[in-house]
Structure 1
Amino acid sequence: MIRHKLFNHDIMTCTDESVLGNHLYSGRVLGLTEIEDIIQLHPELKSQWNAITAHYDRVGLNYSQNVIWDVSLKICADYPNYDISVFYFGDTTNLNSWQATWFQELDANWFNVVQSINSKNNFMKVAKELGVKVPKTLCFETKTAIPGAGKAIANLETFPYPCYLKPAVAVAGAGIHRCENPEYLASVLQKTPNDIPLQIQEEVKASSFLNLQYQVTEAGLKRLAATYQILDGCTHIGNRYPSPHQPWELVDPIAKWMAQKGMKDVFAFDVAVVEEGENTRYLAIECNPRFNGASYPTGIANKLKVNHWSGETFTTQYRSLDEIDLSGIEFNPQTETGVVFVNWGSILVGKIGVLLAGNVEQQDKLRSILKQRL
């Protein structure tokens, strides 16, 4: 008997409130679903349903025909014969919430490994135990454990600078500070809450950053996709596939450890590429024990059998998919090039996530035309 899935990729239990339109992100998993699956979508996305399904019909992408216009996790209990797919198997906003309790009761092993490795400090501990190379990182239970945090600033001078001060559990980069010198680190620490775990990490002079995705299925652990980040300055604006670097052997040990501990579905590692002359080093930065921004274009590209693509987000003056002109640039299954909407729900706040299918030159042309039309 084939078990179908119920998809609820609402991100509100794993997001920062400052992200514009984050309550609309449940729509981006639609392209990963199959006809018989069930998908829960935010009711505000109803206005875009006809446009997105017509678009997916034209590009040859299957999707769930069974929509529940409500993202409450309580609905999942009504479908015990469906496997559940969620953005994050837990709750980073409130560890004592009913959602966290429900996930733990549903699958304690999955919940526990997600909660553990979502801590950057725990990730560093596991990496050290398994011999995985990471940047120089110092972990602390609270800021009062940091030498010089509340005392003489001279004690902070032993750290390498520039460095990053990070909460052990950070969402969408919130609370992460780049510190050029001990004085700035001290000033940031003064404003940091007393009761949260922290880490101080050396700045890595990376030529690029990779996203290495894995998936745990009934058949076991598999490597899903290696992409590299597209950056605008220091801002991450997308991912490109394939990557010239694919250092799977670096993080394989942690991926296998997570699978053995009970991890399921999609998760990914951030890896820094450090090129020193003719030598290249790879350093594991952190693990995202969940779906991430690269997961959705990856899933759609795999379904459409696209081998070269980038996933990017753009701002637009429009507030409806019907207003965006894709004539001549919409994905064509015959040529395997063109634009596919991925994070379509955020159009309601003037953002649109897309897949640009084709080689780098074709991506550049598609990007240029699309930006002119947005």
Structure 2
Amino acid sequence: MAAIELSTLAPVKRRLINHDIMNCTADDVLGNYLYSGRALGITDPGDVLQLHPDLKSQWPAIKAHYARIGLHITENVVWDVQFNRGEPYTDYEPSVFFYGDEQHNFCRNDNWFRVVEYINSKNNFMTLAEELKMDIPKTLRFNSVSEISTAALNSFPYPCYLKAAISVSGVGIYRCQDEAELKQAVKKFAADTPVQVQEEVKTDIFLNMQYRVNDHHLEQLAATEQILDGFVHQGNRFPACCAPWHSIQPMAQWLFGHGMKGIFAFDVAVVQDKQGTRYMPIECNPRFNGASYPTLIAEKLAANSWLARSFSTDKRHLSDIDLTGIEYNPKMGNGVVIVNWGPIQVGKLLCMLVGTPEIQKRLARELQTRL
């Protein structure tokens, strides 16, 4: 990790960690109320972690798994994700998935709130990227769907994507092959919904590039390659094919200077054209994201080659999964680490497979047979 701005850091404070996502998730994400559990692996002893009470049944198994692999975590758990339950710990450093209205009301930081609210809009992102002269796809922005005129429909480059300016988990994104499909996609939005129409970026390589803010210190945390199913994030691999920090550095510095805290990330497309390789920022996620949890766990384990991906399972309890022989071995430096464990109750897990690409493939095959 490379330091961007050096400073004298204060002693590390204990954290109050609440990574419940229910105020900023798509309704159709299966088991989304169980996602607070994935923050467990990034905790340190002494932290306080708020978890959904439905995760209690999995607690003994996940705690034992992390103990076996040498991942040190907190055992100070509040079995409630309501922010007011964190009031006894107001002297702790807050860590949240997304710093929105509810989080701002609990622990006020006006600059952080304003910069998150601003850049969480894809339209604002594109406006700022243009001001900073970043290399971005051709994008037309509209304050509402009703602003899209017939003349505009005729002028778009096809195929294109119609996107809600504010969306999560790939919801509100439609690929349109021609004008007829775009007209149909427009009807899926309320008339006052801010949207953008963006040219199709022709590539199979998308990067997730994360920064971390610690007090007055900005770090380049990690660049990972995204594993996508359509527009929906399924996982990440590290290291990525490249790490073009220069393509997003101006905006990262701008956000940092305007009060950004915690972790934030950019989606960057790697595009080959006649001029060579282009690194095109697509959007900024001003929050933790799916790649953050395996990234931070890998940092704690000093793992430098890994694949994190979703798995489906017929099991409904962690204790029913036999990881003998494939569980992460700290002496060998490879194996399976369970990251997002709560959704096993609805038949899915996010696991990190640590090792060379060949080892990752073997672990994936073996793990799937046990699920």
State TM-score, norm by structure 1: 0.94
1:235-255 Cα shifts (integer Å, max 9, x gaps): 532100001211100101111
- Match for residue 276 of structure 1 among 253, 273, 277: 273
Rounded Cα–Cα distance in structure 2 between residues aligned with 1:278 and 1:133 = 13
Who is 2:120 aligned against? 118
The answer as to whether partners of 1:229 and 1:240 remain within 8 angstroms in 2 is yes
Residues 18-33 of structure 1 aligned to structure 2 (within 5 Å): 18-33=28-43
1:261 is the counterpart of 2:258: yes
Rounded Cα–Cα distance in structure 2 between residues aligned with 1:352 and 1:240 = 16
Who is 1:367 aligned against? 364
Rounded Cα–Cα distance in structure 1 between residues aligned with 2:142 and 2:263 = 29
Who is 1:301 aligned against? 298
* Residues 192, 57 of structure 1: alpha-carbon distance in 2 compared, 3 angstrom cutoff: same
Residues 234-249 of structure 1 aligned to structure 2 (within 5 Å): 235-249=232-246
Rounded Cα–Cα distance in structure 2 between residues aligned with 1:248 and 1:265 = 18
1:114-158 Cα shifts (integer Å, max 9, x gaps): 01000000000110111111100000001121122xxxxx65121
Who is 1:96 aligned against? none
Distance apart, 1:191 and its partner CA? 3.2
* Residues 67, 73 of structure 1: alpha-carbon distance in 2 compared, 3 angstrom cutoff: same
Letter aligned with residue 52 of structure 1: I
Gap runs ≥5 in structure 2: 1-10
Give 4+ residue runs of structure 1 displaced > 3 Å after superposition: 231-236
The answer as to whether partners of 2:340 and 2:351 remain within 8 angstroms in 1 is yes
1:161-203 Cα shifts (integer Å, max 9, x gaps): 1111011001111111111110111122133201111100001
Rounded Cα–Cα distance in structure 1 between residues aligned with 2:256 and 2:231 = 32
Distance apart, 1:65 and its partner CA? 1.4
Distance apart, 1:277 and its partner CA? 6.3
* Residues 232, 170 of structure 1: alpha-carbon distance in 2 compared, 3 angstrom cutoff: closer
Who is 1:70 aligned against? 80
- Match for residue 46 of structure 1 among 27, 31, 56: 56
* Residues 126, 277 of structure 1: alpha-carbon distance in 2 compared, 3 angstrom cutoff: closer
Rounded Cα–Cα distance in structure 2 between residues aligned with 1:216 and 1:2 = 13
Residues 89-108 of structure 1 aligned to structure 2 (within 5 Å): 89-91=99-101, 99=102, 102=105, 106-108=108-110
* Residues 101, 33 of structure 1: alpha-carbon distance in 2 compared, 3 angstrom cutoff: closer
* Residues 131, 328 of structure 1: alpha-carbon distance in 2 compared, 3 angstrom cutoff: same
Letter aligned with residue 122 of structure 1: N
Rounded Cα–Cα distance in structure 1 between residues aligned with 2:82 and 2:38 = 17
CA RMSD of aligned residues (A): 1.4
Distance apart, 1:309 and its partner CA? 0.2
State TM-score, norm by structure 2: 0.94
Letter aligned with residue 168 of structure 2: V
Q: Secondary structure at the match of 1:352?
A: strand
- Equivalent pairs, count: 361
Rounded Cα–Cα distance in structure 2 between residues aligned with 1:100 and 1:323 = 36
* Residues 70, 233 of structure 1: alpha-carbon distance in 2 compared, 3 angstrom cutoff: closer
Q: Secondary structure at the match of 1:191?
A: coil
Who is 1:223 aligned against? 220
1:141 is the counterpart of 2:143: yes
Percentage identity across paired residues of the two chains:
53
- Match for residue 351 of structure 1 among 333, 348, 353: 348
Residues 116-265 of structure 1 aligned to structure 2 (within 5 Å): 116-148=118-150, 155-232=152-229, 235-265=232-262
The answer as to whether partners of 1:207 and 1:275 remain within 8 angstroms in 2 is no
Distance apart, 1:63 and its partner CA? 0.5
Rounded Cα–Cα distance in structure 2 between residues aligned with 1:219 and 1:112 = 18
Letter aligned with residue 85 of structure 1: S
Structure 1 window deviating more from structure 2 (232-241 vs 8-17): it is 232-241
Gap runs ≥5 in structure 1: 92-98, 149-153
Rounded Cα–Cα distance in structure 2 between residues aligned with 1:289 and 1:2 = 22
Rounded Cα–Cα distance in structure 2 between residues aligned with 1:155 and 1:307 = 47
Q: Secondary structure at the match of 1:249?
A: helix
